[in-house]
Amino acid sequence: MTLKEIIYNLKDSLGSDAEELTNAQYKFIIDYYRAKLLRQRLGRGEKLAPVFAPALHKIEIEETSDSDPGCADLDCSSYKTVKEIPNIIPYSLESTLLYLGSTDGYLSFQETTFQALPFEEHAKYISKQSKWFILGDNIYVTSPPDEQIEYITIQGVFEDPLAAAALCADFDPACLRNYDIEYPISGDMLDTIYKLIRDNELQGLIKEIDEDEIVAR
């Protein structure tokens, strides 16, 4: 179901109260509750259904310059995402993303950290492996299997699924403007979010979420 359809159905169930908020505000509320419920599930050690983490293909990357902080003191080729990466909900304590690697889905790159990379470069068995790490608002890839690499595929759970979908090189910006894009959520979670919204005063809901966001920062 697209986000456009989700908002339409929600407005229909709310009746006249639905006019209190804009579509952008509904999107904000839905994103907020989806992220909150997903963190609760992951915190209980639950395995998420694939629907929450669709594969994002053709994420464009570019070779880094010598002055880029993500390739300082590295003896290997380094690339980074052209677009900044929206907030990720870590999938587990061991793995931030379900997959990051080649666009055919067959070669997964190893997750590491910027701090660990200089030491791994000299490790006998893993020094030549393709790796990735997050630094600032970008994902960096080192020692890719092909130095002419242009794109990678990412599969993960994002706070803002539409912002994540917009990372794809072939994404149509019109879909972002009118919310006409598949929204990664299960039916049971959507029912829960509908109930949470119906059971709360809409303006109070916005205020509550704003306050939670301030506390989180």
Looking at the structure, tell me whether residues 127 and 201 fall in a common domain: no
More confident residue, 7 or 113: 7
Q: In sequence order, which residues have a C-beta less than 8 Å from that of residue 155 and are 6 or more positions away?
A: 53, 54, 55, 56, 97, 98, 99, 100
Looking at the structure, tell me whether residues 10 and 62 fall in a common domain: no
Q: What band does 216 get if pLDDT is binned at 50, 70 and 90?
A: very low
Quick check: is 114 in a domain? yes
Looking at the structure, tell me whether residues 37 and 114 fall in a common domain: no
Give whole-number Cα distances, 50 to 5, 46, 58, 106, in Å.
21, 12, 19, 17
Quick check: is 9 in a domain? yes
pLDDT digits (tens, 9 = 90+) for 60-102: 999 887 777 766 666 567 899 999 999 999 887 668 899 999 9
Quick check: is 151 in a domain? yes
Which amino acid makes up residue 212? D
- Range from 105-109, 166-170, 204-208 carrying the lowest mean pLDDT: 204-208
How far is residue 111's CA from residue 101's CA, in Å, rounded to a whole number?
Answer: 10
Quick check: is 163 in a domain? no
Looking at the structure, tell me whether residues 72 and 148 fall in a common domain: yes
Percent of the chain with pLDDT over 90: 49
Looking at the structure, tell me whether residues 113 and 150 fall in a common domain: yes
Looking at the structure, tell me whether residues 63 and 43 fall in a common domain: no
Looking at the structure, tell me whether residues 117 and 101 fall in a common domain: yes
Looking at the structure, tell me whether residues 207 and 116 fall in a common domain: no
Q: How many independent structural domains does the chain possess?
A: 2
Could you say which of 158, 174, 203 is where a domain stops? 158
Looking at the structure, tell me whether residues 151 and 70 fall in a common domain: yes
Looking at the structure, tell me whether residues 105 and 132 fall in a common domain: yes
Looking at the structure, tell me whether residues 88 and 19 fall in a common domain: no
Domain span at 209? 3-50+182-216
Quick check: is 177 in a domain? no
Quick check: is 28 in a domain? yes
Q: In sequence order, which residues have a C-beta less than 8 Å from that of residue 159 and are 6 or more positions away?
A: 31, 35, 86, 87, 88, 89
CA angle 117, 119, 121 (to 5 degrees): 70
- Average pLDDT of the segment spanning 149-156: 95
Is the model's pLDDT at 126 over the cut of 60?
no
Quick check: is 176 in a domain? no
Structure tokens at 168: 């794809």
Starting at the edge strand that comes first in sequence, how are the strands of the sheet with 138-142 ordered? 99-101, 151-155, 55-63, 78-81, 138-142, 131-135, 110-111
Name the most confidently modeled range: 5-14, 39-48, 105-114, 184-193. Answer: 184-193
Is the model's pLDDT at 214 over the cut of 50?
no
Cβ–Cβ < 8 Å for 165, 181: yes
- Average pLDDT of the segment spanning 165-183: 90
Is the model's pLDDT at 217 over the cut of 70?
no
CA 56 to chain centre: 9
Pairing outcome for strands 55-63 and 99-101: unpaired
Q: Where are the beta strands (DSSP E) in the chain?
A: 55-63, 78-81, 99-101, 110-111, 131-135, 138-142, 151-155
Quick check: is 12 in a domain? yes
Cβ–Cβ < 8 Å for 3, 162: yes
Q: In sequence order, which residues have a C-beta less than 8 Å from that of residue 163 and are 6 or more positions away?
A: 86
pLDDT digits (tens, 9 = 90+) for 40-60: 999 898 888 999 999 999 999
More confident residue, 199 or 136: 136
Looking at the structure, tell me whether residues 60 and 43 fall in a common domain: no
More confident residue, 116 or 149: 149
